[in-house]
Amino acid sequence: MVEPKYVAPTGTSDILSPEVERRNCIVDKARRLLGLYCYQEMIVPTFEHTELFVRGIGEATDIVSKEMYTFGDQKGSSFALRPEATSGIVRAFIEHSLYTKSMPQKYFCIGPMFRKEKPQAGRYREFYQIDVELLGAEQPSADAEVIALLMHIFQDLGLKNLTLKLNSMGCRICRAPYREELVGYLRKVEKGLCRNCRERIKKNPLRVFDCKVEGCRHLLREAPELISVLCAQCQEHFEEVKKYLGVMGPDYELDPKVVRGLDYYTRSVFEVVSPSLGAQNVIGAGGRYDYLVEDCGGPPIAGLGFAIGIDRTSLAMKRSGLKGYEDKSLDLFIITTSHHLRFETIKRLDILRHQGFSAEMDHLSRSMKAQMRLADKLRAKIVIFIGEDEIRKGVLGVRDMATSSQEEVPFEDLLDYLYQKLGRKEKWGARG
């Protein structure tokens, strides 16, 4: 083995099989469920004008102030690799006047996001998300539906023992006086807080609840909680969300410390935590953002959504012993006993693949024994032999690998024989 000259950048990874299969399973199952809940897929750019994220996510957040990959072009414009997908979807929603359609509008987007964070287990600089947004409904039933959908996806993947944490971040009316109250409290305990939290008092006091430092967490146990000072409308909204969730089923825990790291959240916020992961244990999270569309230059339209971290979800599945994919096997392997029959072999192979069978042959002029070993390794269900004798007789040697029984099948009967043995296949390889 050679010493690699180039390696993938820190915080990125090459995703190889079978990890790729597990991730595809996550995406496939999510796509199927999103269809049941009437969501449409949207593909938005992986980079946007930096200003969009600054406006949307908030200048004082860690994401915008420290973690974005920004770059310029010759004209002096500044762009940023997307650190999250909501801003881009909201931008597209406004740009294409999608708010003129009947509400709500439901979208999802799947792809990589980028944040310049210190990499650790479950945290990468390029990470993959399934992002789900519902725009144009203020009603609490929408919150409950979105949260239930998130849990439905995890349930469908077989993940168990997850904790759904729920909180309300209030609105502009109730948050301003609360912020004052919290700042007042934090000033009193300032000496005991970490440096980051001391900075947060000035810039983004609610973010102190995200701090993982034990000393801070201890002091924050006594901190005033937004949930207890919600305005009447926010309180009523939250009560209704809980009632709807009660009807729909997913168990939840109220957690006044869930504040999420983005400025745009209002009212319902939620996180799903997996017990099988370490410090980075949130596998899905989201919330309501009733001012974001307006803040990004659109009409006053409410919205909410969530993102599922594909990397962490996959890790949680792996640690729970969930494969998510089926072991691959091959329908057919064609062995040729004579070098000059390779044209005949590749022609048959081509026909069979066009009939929807997965099929392989040897390209390295291996011996018959070695071809047989290869067929075994690929877990071929059926091996077809093409040799001089067979061609003369107008037949093919066909071996059922499960029973080791071998028989001769006339050329013209081969497809019917295979359909019977392997089940009917869709033509042109269109089967799933």
Which residues make up each annotated binding site? 84-86, 115, 129, 133, 260, 264-265
Check binding of 213 to Zn ion (CB under 5 A): yes
Work out which of 110, 216, 259, 361 binds Zn ion, going by CB under 5 A.
216
Q: Give whichever of 79 and 270 is closer to Zn ion, judged by the CB atom.
A: 270
Side chain identity at residue 143, one-letter code:
D
Check binding of 259 to Zn ion (CB under 5 A): no
Shortest distance in whole angstroms from residue 174 CB to Zn ion: 3
Residue from 26, 274, 306, 16 nearest 142 by CA:
306
Q: Give whichever of 114 and 289 is closer to Zn ion, judged by the CB atom.
A: 289
Check binding of 142 to Zn ion (CB under 5 A): no
Check binding of 229 to Zn ion (CB under 5 A): no
Residue 181, judged by CB atoms within 10 A of its CB (0-12, 13-18, 19+), counts as: middle
- Distance between CA atoms of residues 130 and 44, nearest Å: 13
Work out which of 109, 137, 142, 174 binds Zn ion, going by CB under 5 A.
174
Q: Give whichever of 81 and 174 is closer to Zn ion, judged by the CB atom.
A: 174
Check binding of 261 to Zn ion (CB under 5 A): no
Region near Zn ion per CB under 5 A, out of 210-218, 272-280, 281-289, 396-404:
210-218
Residue from 69, 257, 243 nearest 147 by CA:
243
Distances (CA, A) of 222 to 178, 211, 212, 280, 370: 14, 15, 16, 25, 71
Copy the structure tokens of residue 295: 């803040």
Q: Give whichever of 205 and 250 is closer to Zn ion, judged by the CB atom.
A: 205
Shortest distance in whole angstroms from residue 218 CB to Zn ion: 10
* Half-sphere exposure (Cβ direction) of 37: Cα atoms closer than 13 Å: 27
Residue from 358, 357, 372, 376 nearest 424 by CA:
357
User: Would strands 40-41 and 330-336 be described as parallel, antiparallel, or unpaired?
Assistant: unpaired
Check binding of 171 to Zn ion (CB under 5 A): yes
Contact residues toward Zn ion (CB under 5 A) are 170-171, 173-174, 194, 197, 211, 213, 216, 231, 234
